[in-house]
Amino acid sequence: MVTWSAKPYTHAEAKMSMDLRKKLEERERIKKNFFDYKQSNKEKEIKRLPDIIGIGVKKCGTGSLLEFLLLNPAVRPPNQGKRETIVGETFFFNKKFDLGIGYYKNLFPYVNDREKIIEKTPSYFMYPPSELPERIYNILPEAKLLLMVCDPTPRVFSDYIHQTIRYQLHNDKSLAKYETFEEYIDHYLPKMKNLTKSWLTSSTMDSDQELEKMLSSFMITDRAALLLSTGLYFFHIQRWLRIYNASNLMIIDGEEFLRSPGPVLEKIQEFIGVPKLVLHEEFMKNPETNFFCYRPLSESQLNNNVETIFDDFRCPGENKGRTRNGAKPMPEAISLQLRNFYRPFNKAFFKKIGCDFGWQ
């Protein structure tokens, strides 16, 4: 529960929103049918493999996306064991594949045929092995994939802050020797420019695939380089588009999700084949963090003649968006360097997917 007072959803506003009233009526009907079906089909629930996989990208909002999607009771995550928060990451296809399908299936709950299972492991998108997309397709040919990408410039800074906190918590030393973000960029940006300079002058299908392989190798030998190489989406997307298309791979702009999560979530629910039980009208911006929170609405609330302040909010966790609300700004000179570096790769990525997200 959050402590700030949100602008009330007034009776006058409710009267002007007959469409919302109808949506809420329909949702209550669908939810009742869903829970009645679940209760009467307990004995038919089985363990099965996931229907939906979030394949990336780290620090682009995948955690918040999962939290909000799970507000829909038809979407189920992996079993979490003793975890207090829902993470949803299994790392099966890149780190635990040798443990076998039986191990993977056992990670998920018993479900009925109206429920969808989701796992999200953001490192799938760019991590070795190169045949990772084939691994997923061969085992889960009907699965829907969600890829959330975001502007790579703020993503790098967010990842750096995340990794430095991770080092303090888990003794991860890959970035320990760089005391500031500036030191890290001074060391690694020239390396990455040198690695990609030949592609900038002679981009061909062969050079695309060659750099794709080089980046994959770089990730294994130098983990700290991941902060920069992750944002080279154009090269990572190549291996996925050889197998997947718009019918089974949804590419989501994380910047749009940050600005307006409700409409994005409605589109995602439609894509993965579940009823739209999380509605865009139920999202409000927290004035303290500038991030959106979910406030469940009901028809009875809309029928209330008195202004109501709702306190049953679901907000992203405190560890989300550490650098996105201005609390930890990136140095402007570094931001300019990164934008200049990523610009040609962003353009190539937009051309490849047929959609321009407008990152500058």
pLDDT in tens, 172-208: 666 767 888 999 999 999 989 988 888 888 766 566 7
Region 211-227: mean pLDDT is 77
What pLDDT does residue 201 have?
Answer: 80
pLDDT at 2: 39
Average pLDDT score over the chain:
85
pLDDT tens-digit readout, 273-332: 999 999 999 998 887 777 888 988 876 666 654 344 445 677 776 655 556 666 678 999
Q: 8 in a domain, yes or no? A: no
**Total tally of structural domains belonging to the chain:** 1
pLDDT of residue 305: 42
8 Å CB contact between 310 and 295: yes
Q: Is residue 108 part of a domain?
A: yes
Q: Is 113 inside any structural domain?
A: yes
Domain contains 18 = no
Q: Bigger pLDDT: 226 or 300?
A: 226
Per-residue model confidence as pLDDT tens digits over 83-114? 545 567 999 999 999 999 999 999 999 999 99
Say whether pLDDT at 14 is over 60: no
- Report the sign of the C-alpha dihedral through residues 209, 212, 216, 217, in that order: positive
Q: Is residue 101 part of a domain?
A: yes
The residue segments making up the domain with residue 153 are 46-353
Residue-level pLDDT at 249: 98
pLDDT in tens, 289-301: 778 889 888 766 6
- Torsion angle of C-alpha atoms 330, 231, 53, 164, degrees rounded to 10: -40
CATH number of the domain to which 79 belongs: 3.40.50.300
pTM here is 0.89
**pLDDT at residue 1 in the model:** 36
pLDDT tens digits, 18-53: 788 888 999 999 999 999 999 999 999 999 999 999
The answer as to whether 35 is a domain residue is no
> What pLDDT does residue 177 have?
77
- Residue 287, in any domain of the structure: yes
| Residue 1 falls inside a structural domain | no
**In this predicted structure, what is the pLDDT of residue 148?**
98
CB 107 within 8 A of CB 100: no
The DSSP annotation for 50-101 comes to: -SEEEEE-TTSSHHHHHHHHTTSTTEE----TT-SS------HHHHSGGGHH
Residue 286 is predicted with a pLDDT of 81
Q: What is the pLDDT of residue 312?
A: 65
Q: How far is CA 64 from the centre of its chain?
A: 7
% of the chain surpassing 90 pLDDT:
59
Contact 152, 83 (CB under 8 A): no
